[in-house]
Amino acid sequence: MTSSYHHGALRETLLDAAVELVSEAGGDALSLRELARRVGVSSAAPYRHFPDKDALLRAVAARGYQRFDRALDEASREGAEVSALEAVEQLGVAYVRFAARNVNLFRLIFSPIGRSAGHDPELDSACRRSAEHLPRSLERLQREGIATSINLQELTELAWALVHGVAMLYLDGLVGDGQPESAEAAAERVTRHLAGLFRAD
């Protein structure tokens, strides 16, 4: 039986279902036909909102970046109450925690679809916001006289490589025991050692 939706409501319903499906099974499992079946609309209905699978995946990636941004924003706000070094550590752990608890969404947002700049303004905006947290936190660190021997861009690349590396190693089963807590513990160790290098700067 086909459900009746208001035009705008159907797009949001389809997108909610797509995010759920990708979270469960990954981007490869997503199809507009399966999405229509889940939502209870005709197989043609999704195409009125998403011309193809890539357009739908970009919309899902935008949602993923929005969730990622909220997780990092929460860590950033909590970090405002502690030292700059501790704030960087907390942000690194939040980054890896999101990856460990949102495996398929994390893979999608860092896939070519998730980085398809210029194709989708919502995706571009969400991606840009989530990328602002780490350099902002590191800039605070440098204002306090720590890690000043390296410029902010290089410092950001170094810190990002470390936390993103831990996240990907966990997702690929190369560190930890498969539990998100082990990924967070690895992130704590890495960011703590990184902070130690900063202190020695």
**Residue partners of 108: CB distance under 8 A and separation at least 6:** 22, 26, 27, 57, 60, 61, 64, 114
Predicted pLDDT of residue 1: 39
Q: Is 70 helix (H, G, I), strand (E, B) or coil?
A: helix
Predicted pLDDT of residue 187: 82
List phi, psi (to 5°) of 47. -70, -15
- Which CATH number describes the domain made up of 61-199? 1.10.357.10
**Residue partners of 164: CB distance under 8 A and separation at least 6:** 95, 110
Predicted pLDDT of residue 177: 80
Task: Name the one residue in this structure whose structure tokens are 């571009």.
Answer: 124
Predicted pLDDT of residue 199: 64
Predicted pLDDT of residue 46: 93
DSSP assignments along 113-131, one per residue? TTT-TTS-HHHHHHHHHHH
Tokens matching residue 41:
């609309």
Predicted pLDDT of residue 200: 56
Tokens matching residue 170:
């966990």
Predicted pLDDT of residue 63: 96
**Residue partners of 90: CB distance under 8 A and separation at least 6:** 75, 78, 79, 82
Predicted pLDDT of residue 56: 94
Residue ranges of the chain with pLDDT lower than 70? 1-8, 117-118, 195, 198-201
Domain boundaries, given as residue ranges, for the chain? 1-51, 61-199
Q: What is the pLDDT of residues 17-45, one digit of tens each?
A: 999 999 999 999 999 999 999 999 999 99
Predicted pLDDT of residue 183: 82
Predicted pLDDT of residue 142: 92
Quick check: pTM over 0.85? yes
Predicted pLDDT of residue 8: 58
Looking at 1.10.1760, 1.10.10, 2.30.30, 1.10.1870, the CATH number of the domain 1-51 comes to 1.10.10
